[in-house]
Structure 1
Amino acid sequence: MKWQGGRRGGNIEDRRRMSTGGKVALGGIGGVIVLLISLFMGGDPTQLLEQMQNAGGAATQQGEYQSTPEEDRLLDFADVVLVSTDDIWTALFRQSGQAYPKPSLVVYTQGTETGGCGYGQSAFGPFYCPGDQKIYLDLSFNRELSQRFGAKGEFALAYVIAHEVGHHIQQVLGVLQKTNAMRAKMSEREYNKISVMTELQADFYAGVWAHYVNKMTDIELTYDDIVDGMRAAAAVGDDHIQEQAHGHANPESFTHGTSEQRMYWFKKGYETGDIHAGDTFSDPSLR
């Protein structure tokens, strides 16, 4: 993935100088895994974040943040990827006669306040908050992708960012508002299916972004990068994560989709480049 010559200057808020004044009581590594299963790769984290809010301390201003060369490189990378999503989705929305409101990317360490989603923690993984239309990312998550989930290659993190931008697309188009309204009217089992459809559509939008990268931006993707993206999608499938954590998978508790489903919808977005071809909510196989 050739990105070093890509345009920078995205809506990035660097909050790494801010650190949490307390710790989240998650009940050990098991709690972290539960949170990752529930929240990994975005969706609407409002409900669980609010439940955890009181467990986190208030952010406090620290001295000058001592970034590492690796963090600096990842921040530059995230900036280039975010700008590329801005350029592509602005163009696609313009084709439909719509304006695209660009999201912000908040880079932080440990924990940070969100605008409507409670207190965000790095243990939650990357997430999108509809309340302030911001993506939250602790750059240390890149190690999690490689070491915990086995998703290696630079494109894995690009896929994560593009997926979260996919949730922003859903917010702009009114999808998240509709799915959130369904929450109170359904059982947990029923709503889990809606959650899976929501996440798979965000994977599809990530694929649409990848389809246009070489055509609309200064980034150059290769076939190997797309393979890395599909491997990343597979690595964060509910079945894969649950089998890693518990030795078995419980399909009724899936909230993001299986490895096969996540690869399928990312690939479909990449191959079609058609924003209208990602109606996961009408797919009978997901009912």
Structure 2
Amino acid sequence: MTITQPFDAVEAENDAATLEARAVSAWFGDHKVLDRVSLTMPAQSVTALIGPSGCGKSTFLRTLNRMHELIPGASLAGEVLLGEVDIYDSVWKLTEVRRHIGMVFQKPNPFPAMSIYDNVTAGLKLTGTKVRRDERDDLVQECLTRAGLWREVRDRLRQPGGALSGGQQQRLCIARSLAVRPTVLLMDEPCSALDPTSTRRIEETIADLTSEVTIVIVTHNMQQAQRVSDQCAFFLAEEGTPGAIVEHGDTSQVFDSPVDSRTADYVHGRFG
């Protein structure tokens, strides 16, 4: 079905920030890695994707903002809806999708030689987002504040982003994503390379952002999933089969009273 309604009009609806995958399957060449995954990621909440390595969590995350299609030989079936808009509809430019659905990667990837200030505003150029010159200072301060970094860097905004610590660089990447006003923020193990203090600050940032942004996070840390998420989806790929969701629901239910014994075994550390 062709959607003629622009993303901006969809944002005006109450459920605009809800992200929904419908029967998403994914392949690398002839190898199927995801099998008909359906999941609703509610607006203004945190959805954690959990499961052992190789079960398709990160691949699924990449299908949610059309990064999967950039891999040579990769293909996909199904739909991903932002509100009522299918982001794979040919009417949408890739930059427009990325403006609404941002991504924070496992390894912080600021532009190392670019200043902290310019790192925040870099996403504006990449997505074609226009902001008046006299508004940029306020935007940089706002985004760094929302990412929990402003107090630490406000006196060195013209210094290179690569000079920051790993945890600070990750929060700088979050600020860069926020500058384009995304509806959804995807996070692929954003704390896996960070120390406990930096991890705590990233988790605090996630909690602060959920009133404005829908967040989907891949994590192997079960304690982190319990701390930060409202709902969880447990992925599993068994005996060479493609990855699929075994169980999903409220985080408390998935951890405290899972329906499937495989979920219970995984969240209690008996495998994976």
Q: Return the TM-score normalized by structure 1.
A: 0.24
Q: Greater CA radius of gyration, 1 or 2? A: 2
Higher RCO, Cα 8 Å, sep 6+? 2
User: Greater strand percent: which structure?
Assistant: 2
User: Greater helix percent: which structure?
Assistant: 1
Q: Return the TM-score normalized by structure 2.
A: 0.24
